[in-house]
Structure 1
Amino acid sequence: MNEVDVLIVGGGLVGSSLAIALDGSGLRVAQVEAVAPRIDPAADPDERSLALARASVNALTALGVWPSIEAKATPIRRVHVSRRGEFGVVRLDAAEHGLDAFGATCPARELGNGLLARLERCASLVRYAPAKLTAIAGDANGVVATLAADDGEKHLRACLLVGADGTASFVRDACGIGIDKVDYAQTAFVATVQPERAMDGCAYERFTATGPVALLPLAQGRAGVVMTVPSADAPRVAALDDAGYIAELHERFGYRLGKFSRLGRRVSHPLTRVIARRLVATRTVLVGNAAQTIHPIGAQGFNLGLRDALTLAELLVEQARAGGDAGAASLLKRHAELRRKDREGTAAMSDGLARWTADEALPLKALRSLGLIAIDRIAPLKQALVARGMGFRGHSPALALRHFP
């Protein structure tokens, strides 16, 4: 039976980031992924893009991933937040805070390619792909994982098992970790459009009674659009032709960027909130969507998961230098403590915004506008919003701070 210090289940963005962060630590690290790794060279202007917080860009730079994707990224230099039919507006400008950008947008495919290329340079990482975790069991020395691979069944013993296997996490379920789940009764439609006016590095968040609309600046003058609608209305929106869909978008967002054209491929996702009731079990820890899947408002999902991975990596490297056990209960307890403020705060913020901004009660309409005006005009409130939006809430892993002025 092969033995490793850390077994990462999941080869997605968060699991791969963790594997890279542990490269050179002296730890024996293995990664399991259900599909074979493949760099996808095909560019698609309509592909899904991610909004990366400043902390994430810092970390990806420190991990040696950012140089390979920077040319495909678009800096977010300004942010505009408003609510349809109300007078409050928040305007954020990176230059006013001594920054070149709050973060960047990047095609998800390019980030995946950049991580995969960096994984291939990891000196001691052992990758099992395609392979599927089918069972886990504890013994006196660690966690024994059973893998189903093309060349037969394999068994690995790990000091620490990391569940980075997404919202429907096998690791979480196998450990008996319960979840709190909320169905928002909303569906997000993701697409791209061509605005008539240049976005000039500005990201927009527009709240409406039927859900938020976000527009992100992309390369080639395109805009990434996430339009949220009530799920009961999703079949109607899905059936719209391109002209009808653009008209729907204008009805919610307005004409601040002129007319939209060249609608790209549309993809829809029902929105649910899934929060693991605890992050750790015996010699096991959850990160990324396995730990929490949150509402996309504010675009914090991947950024939050990356901070999970970076915090865990930081603790594991310290433990390795001290000659300690990678799966020690004290280490896992410390990880959960360090992640609590950021995890709970970010999840509560996304959940609160999703509910609060859709409420049409008259007192709330006035309160919202006054709140947005206060944030826009009171410097400490604006600075706090900027720091949290860039991923600096609670404990900040050293890798996320490395390039922060």
Structure 2
Amino acid sequence: MAKKLIGISSLILLLIVSGCTPRLDEETEVIQDTEKETTKTVIIPSLQLDETYYRTLMPYEESASRGLVVSNLATKYDMKEVENGLLRISQNEFSPDTYLFQEGQYLDTKTLEKWLARTNQAEGGLNPSSAGLTGEEKAKKAPVYITHIVEQNYLKKEDNTVKLAGVSVGLALNSIYYYQKEDYGAWFEEPLSQALIEENGKRIAEEVVSRMRKDEALANIPIVVGLFKQSSKNAVVPGTYFTYSVAPGGKNVSDWQQVNEEYILFPSADSKEKYRDLDTIFRNFKQDVELYFPNYTSIIGTGYFKENQLQKLTINIPIQFYGTAEVIGFTQHLAGLVKNHFNTSMNVEVQVNSLDRTEALLVKKPGDEDPFVHIYTQ
């Protein structure tokens, strides 16, 4: 029994996870045709946690540019969302029912480092030349537009073979250009307008697809391209994709589809202005938590909205508790507050964290009267 449990846990880690109800099929061993070097034997997992999430091949193959996102994006929130947001967009073109997921295998670190450079720094650089410009002139005339490219591969099983059937790429674009007027001097900010971001993002997208088409393996498959607008360096919520396009096999991007998504910090001036009712609910919840226990740091929430409708509210409560009984008592009280403040139509997750670990998790899905509660005792 122990071996079975360990196996299932390992399998879950390999999936793109968010759902709750697993779908079980027979585990399948197939041949993957890479079209680059040779074929190899891989396994399609038998467990799919939710019909809207992809299964991955085993053994899991890391991205050809793995780790580059850490140095190219400024916040951990953008690092996560640039990939998760692209997964959501990809579902519009590559159904999780028929496609398998694999991290990008075609754009390697060396290639991306060249593409993300300025034209005067590397051949093929996608950012404008800074030759002869001061720091302030770079900000005004030639800011860095693109800082990262994330690639995702989507495969299909035909008979006993798995082949590449589609690719998605996300272009991470600056919303603010940071610069110095002199060496070792103060840092300044130059906000980039939405029009400027979109214009250059679409221009770069066409060039990226054109270059990818030169790879024989990518010449005739659909390529989805999403434009991701990054948050500022000190933001505590991620940026979002604001538009995407699908380049059919052998062609480039053309028609662009708008993406209406945003992340809002609660409580904040933005939340009060855009979502006043929810802002009031959150502030009342926060006040009630503080009345129960003064030994807290701060309570913040992140609301994910699509088409101006709340999809999920994630609440983070940092604590400095030291006893298990204290954590249990606080969590029990929280469960009642979550039930009382957030109606049954809302998707709410509350994370209670101490300095070095998660102490408790409360999840209230739409339709639930009471939240699911888990307390981490070890």
TM bin, normalised by shorter chain, reads: under 0.3
The structure whose residues are more often helix, as a share, is: 1
Higher relative contact order (CA 8 A, sep 6+): 1
Using the size of structure 1 for normalisation, the TM-score is 0.22
